[in-house]
Each structure stands twice: as C-alpha cells, then as structure tokens.
Amino acid sequence: MPEHCAAYACSNRQTIEARDRGITFHKFPKKDVRKKWEVALRREGFTATDSSVLCSEHFKPEDFDRTGQIVRLKDGVIPSVFNFPLHLQRVGVSS
Ligand SMILES: [Zn+2]
C-alpha cells in the first residue's frame, strides 16, 4: 500500500507514476522539526507517524539537496507550499 502524502488536499501517493513525474517523498523528521511540520500542515488533530510522508510539492526548490544520488531535504527545512482552502489561509501565519 503506497503511502499517501500527508498534506491537506494533496492526492499524491508514493507510486512509480509519481516518481516518474519527478515527485519525491520524504518521511517526517524527528522531534522538534516533526512538530514544525505538523503545525505547517494545519491539519487539525494530525500527528505524524514514522511512516508519514510528504511529497516534494510542498517544499521550495532550494529546500532540496540534489547533490547525491537520491534527492534529500536539507536539515531543518519546513514545508511551506500548500493549497489551503480559504478558511485555513486566514489562520495566522506568524504564530
Ligand atoms: Zn503532497
């Protein structure tokens, strides 16, 4: 069962098709950074597990380290690209 991207309204799954489209999937980091990701997702009651993933569409191009054979996220980056519905967009960004 391919993992589904944890982001709101994102239907990307960890499939060969997604990989062919250049989408990479990234596991949630540990501890402090994981909490920041959970907050960034703005999904009420969501708690990431060790199998939770986010797809590369929620990160800026400069968030990635593409120097190796596999695309990695740089340490400590926070996902910042989401398609939130209007009622969620009004929630304070700087809180
Ligand atoms: Zn996604």
Mean local confidence (pLDDT), 33-46:
95
Mean local confidence (pLDDT), 54-79:
95
Distance 10 CA to ligand 1 centre (A): 5
The residue type of 33 is V
Distance 76 CA to ligand 1 centre (A): 18
Distance 5 CA to ligand 1 centre (A): 5
Question: Residue 64 pairs with which residues in a beta bridge?
Answer: 73
Strand runs labelled E in the chain: 25-27, 53-55, 64-65, 72-73
| Per-residue pLDDT at 83 | 84
72 versus 87: which is more confidently predicted?
Answer: 72
Distance 14 CA to ligand 1 centre (A): 10
Distance 41 CA to ligand 1 centre (A): 10
Distance 83 CA to ligand 1 centre (A): 10
Mean pLDDT, all residues of the chain = 90
